[in-house]
A and B are shown apart, each in its own frame.
Chain A
Amino acid sequence: MILSRVVRGATGVAVLLAAAEVAGRTGLLDTQIMPLASTVLTEAAGLAVDPEFLRDVSATVEVWAEGLLIAALLAVPLGVLLGSLPRAEIALRPLIEFLRPIPSVALIPLVALIAVTDGALKVTVIVYAACWPVLVNTMYGLHDVDPVAKDTLRAFGFGRLAVLLRVTLPSAAPFVLTGVRLAASVALVVAISAELLAGGEGGIGVYIVRAGSGYRIDLMLAATVWAGVIGLVVNTLLVRAERGLFRWHAARAGVAQ
């Protein structure tokens, strides 16, 4: 079943690439503006063994992982806290809803004023963007806990902490992981956007800037392909983790594949 999904997914990609190639070869797309799909893929393959590009990839992955980790460390406890204290949540909700839609890349000039290193600048904007999906999902996860299970434990004399550890957190965990998965994609988008807008010593976005300055549209697109591939791999791994760790949840929610 997994195999057939992979085959279908690959077919979709292949059809799109073939269409782009045909459009380029027949002159429908100007290849001066939009290089042939085959050219871009060849360059992308070359980038996979280009040490300079690999350094850029690791720079991006580093700020991404750092940002995502800090976001999770901040947002999960805060989400648990707000989810268990309804009054505090009501008080903070408008503030959260106000801050959440602010595009974090718009904060770059502001953050640049206080961030003493380029890495700190990027991690800060990534954390800002990646916090919200984790926070909101954690809060929802805590709301969704089965009240009967909690009452049962309480009836048997378990304290608040025990109820939190034995029922609430395990029950909310799948929501938290979904939040982290969404945040992982957001963090990658923000990491590369920040590199494109702010630059830096290295990164996939910085590579794209250097390629652009050399008038190498093919290399800009080839680097972009890798950004997409990394996003796909991260998402796939996290979906797997969700399914593997929380099979019971998927069964209950009726989304088992």
Chain B
Amino acid sequence: MRLLGRRALVIGVIAALTLTACSGADTDTTAGGNNGLEKTTIKVGILPIADVAALFIAQERGFFKAEGLTVKPEIVASTQVSIPKLVSGAVDITLGNYFSVLAAQEAKMANFRILADTFQAKQDVFDIVVRKDSPIQSVKDLKGKKISVAALNSIGTLAVDSTLRANGLSPEDVEYAPMPFPEAPGKLASGQTDAAWLTEPFLTGVQKDMGARKIADTMTGAMADFPIAGWTTIEPTLTKYPKAMAAFQRAIVKAQQIADSDRKAVEKVLPLYTQIKPETAAIITLGAYPSTLNQTRIQRVADLMLEYGYLKSKMNVGPLLVPMPQ
């Protein structure tokens, strides 16, 4: 009897597992007809950062729905994942930071197309900070020190390289320690790194929690108002779904304008897709949300990457930019 009871339990568990497994099938409705779109549900790769605020504003205010689109955001943790996912079609569009997209374009990992600009640096959006009691007072004191960046060969190293050069040092004068942003404050506090290149909300966090001191804003000089990221797809996807992509562009640009002019709108959506505290969201420094995709601006990224050796040859970004539909 007891044995029977246990057997029933095991069979029950197996049945439950089978049911869960069956319910896992994805239903991807790609039926056309709605506003003539080739595809009405599009999957969009995002990172849980301020850069993508406009996507959630558009979502919340029904801008996508008005275009006949259902947008499903999913987190893509890095370009190592987002590029293969674009190629396989697991996502149709992804947040792409320009540095990574241009480097991957040169490496011929895919033929990228940028649909819209989404985030641009402003004052104090990407700073270098040190501990409260650190002897490091200025960028010059960073010589021989260990500084954390989000990744090697990234916008982070480009930004710090440029700040070092502006202060008479070279990138070889420091040691870069790549680590995800959430790990950097702990490593800085415990002395495993001497300085950290950070963005929000970590910048506000370390200054508030551990009295960390800013020694430089990296988005100055050659990198003032630097373009950070744009909504990116690949050429085959654009060719296959031109109307759906155009619908996405129209909706996102409307939301970009709101994000750029109404800080409260951004603060409101941030806690929807990150676990940021609303009171933190209210005080962090935000970048700009451009509503035009300007070739001159994006070309700056390619040119600076070339100057610092992150691109091998001159790249014309013109063909990558998708014009805004009427």
Contacts and interface: CB of A to CB of B under 8 A. Distances in A.
B87 A108 contact: no
Contacts of B6: 240-241, 244-245
Contacts of A121: 85, 90
Contact of A198 (B2, B26, B77, B180): B77
Nearest to A237: B13
Interface in A93-125: 108-110, 112-121, 123
Contact of A109 (B45, B81, B201, B210): B81
Interface stretch (B117-125, B167-175, B183-191): B183-191
Interface SS majority for chain A: helix
B74 to A, nearest CB: 4
A50 to B, nearest CB: 10
Interface string A192-220: 00001111110000110111111111011
Contact of A200 (B20, B75, B78, B202): B75
Given A117-B26, A200-B74, A241-B6, A66 B274 contact: no
A112 B280 contact: no
B81 A215 contact: no
A215 B75 contact: no
A32 B10 contact: no
A151 interface: no
A213 B74 contact: no
Contact of B81 (A114, A199, A206, A220): A199
Contact of B182 (A30, A200, A213): A213
Interface string A160-183: 000000000000000000000000
Contacts of B202: 215
A201 B28 CA distance: 14
A116 B90 contact: yes
A33 B21 contact: no
Interface of B: 2-3, 6-7, 9-10, 13, 17-18, 20-21, 23-24, 26, 28, 45, 47-49, 72-78, 80-81, 84-85, 87-90, 180-182, 185-186, 189-190, 201-202, 205, 209-210, 271, 273-277, 280
Given A30-B189, A198-B81, A209-B48, 18 more contacts: A32-B185, A69-B18, A109-B81, A112-B81, A113-B87, A118-B74, A118-B90, A121-B90, A197-B77, A197-B81, A210-B75, A212-B180, A214-B274, A214-B277, A215-B185, A215-B276, A237-B13, A245-B3
